[in-house]
């Protein structure tokens, strides 16, 4: 039996995808502890996991990229806030290790201080990534721009040049604060943040076909374990969801605030006279009082998406991996309006695999969004993702995590 400690940032989209795999580990007889955002402790305990809160000061540091005026400022602000959190989550992980004495660690990719502490700990550890792999490879376009795949000599040249641009951008904006954080943990400097993927004994990417591009040169320590979808235990779906009427369109905002209430506002204006019923889930967006009203629109802070997707004809979203992977798995076409972070890349993958359409943020207006939703509804339901159900993917996650047992640590000193 192995004792695992999973450490997550205070972001629902980075916590919930771990749950199926962690439950699979527990069912195999392992001890599993989770450190997560204080407000997520109760639902994880209700699911059967041993969960406790991370330092509340971590979540108190706002990720403020939504206040940026351009893409470069968005990257700098958002990453700077994550580094500020990292100065706290590193010591927080060290305290959890001292308390629980785990045999292996699972640490989220954006918990930068915790990743440095895991590297320094000498314990076998895996980096968990609930998103697309941001790594170069044969036939993989430069990450973050939402570019189409292109073959042939011109495509390969574009990719080589594009990845160099990405590396220079990372070197200017990300490497100095990362190295300052690493210095606090006695680690040597790095030349690129992509080197962080070399440090763990395993990288467990919670993605796969059809959103992840085929990779022929994946490093041996990396595993694509497939999408892992989970909703907190809940009572029966609300009665209004099953009432007869026009088809449902789900409009959903990010679970970590990024100023995307504009998506909800525009969707209500776009769909108020359409033959659909619209469910808007605000998640972390602003209060519903700021939204327009319409007879066919229902606004909720949160509704488990599983039952909604069983009845939905289309989804309008920001491009977060959680809702996108759920919709693709349920066969519901998507309209994706990326606001930032990894969302332009996710939106491109949605288009490439035929699961929906992309509407650039600069073109977000009622007329264009209405046309996009009409196109998605006309396309109808897509075939579900062929990778299998969550149970099979959870087993793949557990298999990959169990590989950590007996792995020689990359760093010997504690």
Shared domain check, 266 and 175: no
pLDDT for res 237: 84
Shared domain check, 141 and 16: yes
Look at residue 107 and tell me if it is in a domain: yes
Look at residue 384 and tell me if it is in a domain: no
Q: How far apart are CA 393 and CA 8, in angstroms?
A: 20
pLDDT for res 360: 93
Shared domain check, 283 and 208: no
Domain that holds residue 189: 3-227+390-402
- The pTM score is 0.89
pLDDT for res 111: 97
Look at residue 330 and tell me if it is in a domain: yes
- Structurally, the chain folds into a number of domains equal to 2
- Residue 217: DSSP 8-state: S
Q: Which residue has the tokens 């972001």?
A: 11
pLDDT for res 71: 77
Look at residue 407 and tell me if it is in a domain: no
Question: CB–CB of 314/377 below 8 Å?
Answer: yes
Look at residue 413 and tell me if it is in a domain: no
The CATH number of whichever domain residue 356 belongs to comes to 3.40.50.2000
pLDDT for res 393: 82
Shared domain check, 395 and 366: no
Could you please report the per-residue DSSP string of 294-341?
-TTEEEES---HHHHHHHEEEEEE---HHHHHHHHHHT--EEE---ST
Could you please report the per-residue DSSP string of 228-290?
-------SSPPGGGGSSSSPEEEEE--SS--STHHHHHHHHHHHTTSSSEEEEE-TTS--GGG
Closest of 209, 175, 204, 227 to residue 108, by C-alpha: 204
Shared domain check, 269 and 192: no
Look at residue 385 and tell me if it is in a domain: no
Shared domain check, 257 and 217: no
Shared domain check, 83 and 14: yes
pLDDT for res 383: 46
Look at residue 365 and tell me if it is in a domain: yes
Look at residue 337 and tell me if it is in a domain: yes
pLDDT for res 388: 45
pLDDT along the chain (414 residues), means of 10: 95 93 95 96 94 96 82 85 96 98 97 97 96 93 91 93 91 93 96 94 93 91 91 82 93 81 93 95 67 91 87 94 91 92 91 92 94 88 49 87 70 36
Shared domain check, 272 and 189: no
Shared domain check, 344 and 256: yes
pLDDT for res 413: 36
Shared domain check, 197 and 328: no
Shared domain check, 285 and 211: no
Q: Give SS3 for 356.
A: strand
Q: How far apart are CA 215 and CA 192, in angstroms?
A: 21
Shared domain check, 181 and 85: yes
């Amino acid at each position: 039996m192995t004792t695992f400690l999973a450490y997550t940032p205070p972001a629902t989209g980075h916590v919930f995808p771990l749950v199926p795999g962690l439950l699979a580990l527990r069912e195999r007889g392992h001890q599993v502890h989770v450190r997560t955002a204080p407000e997520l402790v109760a639902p994880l305990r209700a699911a059967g996991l041993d969960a406790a809160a991370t330092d509340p000061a971590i979540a108190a540091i706002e990720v403020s990229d939504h206040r940026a005026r351009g893409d470069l400022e968005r990257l700098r602000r958002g990453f700077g806030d994550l580094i500020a959190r990292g100065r706290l989550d590193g010591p927080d992980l060290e305290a959890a290790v001292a308390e629980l004495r785990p045999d292996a660690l699972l640490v989220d990719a954006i918990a930068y201080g915790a990743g440095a502490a895991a590297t320094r700990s000498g314990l076998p550890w895996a980096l968990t990534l609930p998103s697309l792999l941001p790594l170069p490879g044969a036939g993989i376009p430069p990450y973050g721009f939402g570019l189409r795949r292109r073959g042939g000599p011109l495509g390969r040249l574009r990719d080589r040049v594009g990845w160099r641009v990405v590396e220079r951008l990372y070197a200017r904006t990300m490497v100095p604060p990362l190295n300052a954080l690493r210095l606090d943990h006695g680690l040597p400097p790095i030349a690129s943040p992509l080197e962080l993927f070399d440090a763990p004994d395993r990288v467990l990417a919670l993605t796969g076909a059809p959103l992840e591009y085929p990779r022929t040169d994946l490093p041996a320590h990396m595993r694509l374990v497939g999408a892992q979808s989970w909703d907190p235990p809940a009572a029966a779906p609300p009665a209004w969801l099953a009432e007869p009427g026009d088809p449902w369109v789900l409009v959903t905002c990010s679970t970590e605030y990024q100023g995307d209430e504009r998506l909800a506002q525009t969707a209500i204006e776009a769909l108020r006279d359409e033959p659909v019923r619209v469910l808007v889930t605000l998640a972390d967006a602003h209060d519903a009082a700021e939204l327009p009203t319409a007879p066919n629109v229902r606004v909720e802070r949160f509704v488990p998406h599983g039952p909604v997707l069983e009845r939905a004809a289309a989804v309008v979203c920001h491009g977060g991996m959680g809702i996108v992977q759920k919709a693709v798995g349920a066969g519901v076409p998507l309209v994706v309006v990326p606001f930032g972070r990894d969302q332009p890349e996710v939106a491109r993958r949605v288009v490439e695999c035929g699961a929906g359409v992309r509407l650039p943020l600069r073109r977000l207006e009622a007329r264009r969004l209405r046309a996009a939703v009409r196109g998605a509804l006309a396309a109808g339901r897509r075939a579900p993702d062929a990778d299998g159900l969550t149970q099979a993917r959870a087993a793949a996650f557990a298999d990959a995590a169990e590989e950590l047992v007996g792995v020689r640590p990359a760093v010997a000193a504690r």
